Structure formats: structure tokens, C-alpha cells
A and B are shown apart, each in its own frame.
Chain A
Amino acid sequence: MRAKWGLLLLVAVVGCASPPRPVDPPLLKAALEVESDGAKRYQRGDLAVAERRFAEAMRRFAGIDDVAGSARNRLHLIRVKLAQGRAAVALEMLDGIPPGLAEELDVLLLRGQALLALDRAADAGQVLDHAAGRCGADCAAGASLEILRGRASLRRGEAPAARAHAERGLALLRERDEPRELGNAWRLLAAARLAGGEATALAAAQAALDIDRRLALPEKIARDWLLIGDIQRRYAPGQASGGNDARLAYARALEIAEAAGLKEISLIASQALQAIGM
């Protein structure tokens, strides 16, 4: 009788049993959660908290000997530093990354970005050319690379090259969901057209502004207004309406910068207003 019941129980257990769901080890899961939280903060623009989260995630991954996780979070952290305007620190951190990582292309792009932020356009150009050699036709970072190369060209005073890079970047972004890069590409195109003496710069700058407004990025919005002011000032210097539009654009940039606590842009906008006699 007992054997019967035992057999029945065994059948029931076997019937009810299902393959166990794969579960991440708790420490790995915790590290991934911290990283995920940091990513959310970064997307929200909460850079200070994102920085702490990525640093903690990096430490946690290092604690479980997850080299890839640790390196990935180091790159996240570098992105945060760059967004905070701490390019020198970012460059220092990039120097500490050992070669041979899977994200080597990302490292090169971030290095180029840091060098551009430090006004080292020539060095940036070299790094980005090297990155271009590693980035094939279907390279996921192709659009970012084009934008960075365009920025480097612009810094070197090569407006046509910058414009070409910007247009290639826009073409690559057409099928992708990267609104921030799309705004960057339009801004670069506007700056390149402005440098190249093209009046269509204003439309590109306004396209960038529309995207940045939608993404609610105050620093970019303020810089877009500065760019619009520069374009208005350049192409309608003699016209009363053009001067007025430039003044309005700079004033808008100043207003946004002060509201968002962006001292550098406030200073630039104030100087621009003074330059046009306001």
C-alpha cells in the first residue's frame, strides 16, 4: 500500500516538476540592478547619482571577477564624466583601460570625444581615424563616429568635410532610434553650414533645437539657441529683424542657462548680447 502511495507521489512530483528557471546569482543580479539604475539616472540627466551607481556597479563586478561587467561600467562612468564636462578625468580613466577589450571601438570613440572636449582636435582626429579603420560598413557606432569626425574637422576649420560627415551621420541615423545623436548631427550640420557660409544653417539648427527640446536637455537647448543667435547675427547683420532675432535667441539662451544653472553658457550668452550692443 505504501509502495503504491509512494509511486503515486513520485508520478505527481515528476508531473508537476518543470525545468528550473535559470536564475542569476544574487551578487551578479545585484550588480546588474545597480548598473540598470545608473543607466536610468543617466537617461534622466541625474548625472551625480548615475556616477555613484556606475562606480558602485564597477566595484561590484570587480568583486565577482566579472571583467566585462567592470569594464562596461567603467565606460558608463567615463560617459558620465564627459557629460559633466570633466574631460580630463575621463581621459585619465580611459588611459587606465587595458587593451584588448571587446569595447575597444567604444574606448576609441570616447577618447576622441574627450580629446575634442579638451580642444585637442589633431589628436582627436588621429584617434578617430584609427577608430574608422576598425569600424566596418555595418558598424553600430558609425553615426557617432561620423559626428565625432565631423566635429574634429570643424575644429580644424574644414567646414566642407564637417558637413559631409554630418550628412553621412544623418543618413546612418535615419533607420535608428538614437534621438540624441540625431540632434547632435543636426547641430553639427548647422555649425558646418554656418562655418561654410550657408544660409540654410538656420533650418538645421532649428531641427536640432526641436529634437533637444523634445528630449528636454537644457544644456543642448541653450547651446542650440546660442547657435541660432550666431546664425541670425551672421546672416542678417544689417537687417533690423535679423539683429532683433539674434538678440532674442541669445536672450533665450541666457534665460535657459540661468534657469538650469549653466554658468559657462550664461557667460557666453551675456558676452554675445553685449557684442550686439544689448
Chain B
Amino acid sequence: MSLLTQYDADTAAVRRGTRRFLILASLLTLAVVAAIFVRQGLLRQTVSYGFVTDSAQDIAKGQAVRIAGFRVGSVSEVSLRDDGSVAVGIEVDADHMRFVTHDARVELRKEGLVGSPTLEIVPGPDKTRLAAAQARLAFTRADGLGALANQVRDEFVPILKDIKAITGTLADPQKGLPGTLAQIRASSEALNVLLANGNRQVDGIGVSAVRVLNKAEEDLKHLGQTLEAANQRLPAMLERTSQVLDHVEKITAEAETSVPPVLRDGSAVAADVREIVGGARQAWPIRNLVDAPGPATLKADSDPRGEAGHAR
């Protein structure tokens, strides 16, 4: 009998212990769940806003919503509307709704161009009025790599085409610089002959004719200087153009791996222009257009110091 009594007492103790354990575990579980809720903001008061976009690309439910880089809410709903546009709902902590002005816009950004996308609420300039709950905010997508690549392509492709056209024109043997130089040389020679004839006849003519000839000679000198300058600078210009093309090709080659269709055209044009410029530089350096000077002949001057008049 005493043995049974002892058994009952032990059983009751075990039951009490078990009950206490279960209660404590349930409390702890509840505490953890509550902590999770608090941590996730499920128990916080939020305000809902929304925006409409034409694509749900890079937008997902639960995605963070930030203001000035701080997480203040999340995407609560992404749904396709009847008209094919996408309605996006976001919930922002009520504590931070003071930053959401009526003219605020939601911007989809990527961290470092290629990082994870986040939605950033950018307050508008008018701080006097806040957006009402359920208000529809404006939405923009910040330029991603694709947009930037498009922009780069749009800017440099016309430039490269211009360079192609210019170098093509310069290299044209008839209309380009070779032809122009040849024409200038021919004109210079004709003018020189004219001046030579004029010089012979001018001794008996008046001072005005001398002035005209002097002016013509000066013009010819300037022309010569201009040609010299062009001769010196154009190869350097071609060299610089080539360096620029090096960079452009490098950039396009690197970007091509991520956005091949976008930059394919630009890369092709760059390669094309490189070929032309390289060809122009190799086959047509300006200095080679001008023939090597012949042996110099100094103008005769039997009295370089004017000593014939030395009568004293």
C-alpha cells in the first residue's frame, strides 16, 4: 500500500514538472514569435501607398522600401492590372510617413549599378503637404547599366561616325587634304612665278606696287606657316584619335559581356573607324605627302654685308 502511495506522489511531481516545462516553453515560443513580429515590423503601425508602373521587373513582394538609405517599409503587393500595367503597394512605417510628401516619387535603384534593386522614396520639394494614406505616388526607374550603355552608345556613335566621315574626307585623294595640299602647292608655285615676274618688273614701278607685292609675299609666308602647322599637328591629332578609339574599344569590349546587343553597333563602328584612322596614319602620314626637299640652293648674294658702298 505504501508502495502505491509513493508511486502516486512521484507521478504527480512529474506531471507538475512537465506542466511547468510546457508552460515555460510556450511562453518562450510566444516571446520569440513576438520578437520576430516586432523585428519584422508586423506589429507596427504602417501607412500604405501605391504606384503604377509598366513593368514589374526588379520589383517583388517584400522588397525593401527606403528613405535616404534607411529601410522604412516594404512592398506589400505587386499585381497586374486589367490594362496591363502593374500596381505596386508599399507599406511605410507610420513614424516615417512625415517624409512622404504629396509630390514624393518612388525610384527603383540598383546598388552600384549591378547590385540588388531597392525602392527609394524621394521626397518632393513641397514639404508642406504630406501624402495621404493609399496615395498613388509617382514612379521612376533610375538608369541602370542598360540605360547607361544606351546613353553612351547614343552619344559616341554619332561622334565616331563623324570621325569616320572626316577621316574619309581627309584621306580622299581628290577632295581631301592630299588634293588640297597639292592644289595649294600648285597655287603657291603659280603665285611665286607671278611674284618673280612682278619682282623683275617692279624696279621701275612705284612704291605702291612694291607694297602690293610685299603683302602678297607676306600672305604666302603665312600660308607656308599654316601648312607647316597642319603638317606638324595633324599626325598628332590622328594619334590622339587613335588613343580615344583604344579607350572606346576597351570600354565596349568590357561592356559587351553584359550588354552585348546594346553595344554591338558601337563596337563595330569603333573598329571600323580604327581601321580607317590606322590606315590613314600608316599609309598617309602628312609628312610623307610632302616630298623630301631637294638640295637647297641659296639665293645668290655676292655682297651679303653691303660692302660695295664702302668708299671710306
Contact = CB atoms under 8 A, between A and B. Distances in A.
B304 A82 contact: yes
Given A147-B303, A181-B299, A195-B311, 18 more contacts: A39-B296, A42-B298, A83-B304, A109-B302, A117-B307, A141-B300, A143-B300, A144-B300, A175-B200, A176-B200, A180-B300, A180-B304, A184-B301, A184-B302, A184-B303, A187-B303, A188-B308, A220-B305
Contacts of B299: 43, 178-181
Contacts of B8: none
A254 interface: no
Interface stretch (A92-100, A224-232, A240-248): A224-232
A22 B302 CA distance: 37
Is chain A's binding surface mostly helix, strand, loop or mixed? helix
Contacts of A85: 305
Given A177-B200, A194-B311, A268-B312, A32 B293 contact: yes
Contacts of A83: 301, 304-305
A151 B305 CA distance: 13
Given A76-B296, A175-B200, A180 B305 contact: no
A151 B304 contact: no
Interface in B269-312: 292-312
A191 B306 CA distance: 11
Interface residues of A, number: 63
Contacts of A212: 306
Nearest to A36: B293
Contacts, number: 124
Is chain B's binding surface mostly helix, strand, loop or mixed? loop
Given A82-B304, A148-B302, A211 B203 contact: yes
A219 interface: yes
A147 B302 CA distance: 7
Interface residues of B, number: 29
A230 B296 contact: no
**The 3 A-B residue pairs with the shortest CB-CB distance in the complex, in nearest-first order:** A39-B296, A36-B293, A223-B306
Interface of A: 24, 28-29, 32-33, 35-36, 38-39, 42-43, 69, 72, 76, 79, 82-83, 85, 109, 113, 116-117, 141, 143-144, 147-148, 150-151, 154, 174-182, 184, 187-188, 190-191, 194-195, 205, 207-208, 210-212, 214, 217, 219-220, 222-224, 226-227, 230, 268
B199 interface: yes
Contacts of A227: 309, 311
A246 to B, nearest CB: 13
B36 interface: no
B306 A181 contact: no
A32 B301 contact: no
Contact of B309 (A35, A180, A191): A191
Nearest to A169: B302
A181 B302 contact: yes
A35 B292 CA distance: 11
A151 B303 contact: yes
B196 interface: yes
A233 B282 CA distance: 67
A72 B296 CA distance: 9
Contacts of A150: 308
B165 interface: no
B308 A151 contact: yes
Nearest to B307: A117
Contacts of B308: 147, 150-151, 154, 184, 187-188, 191
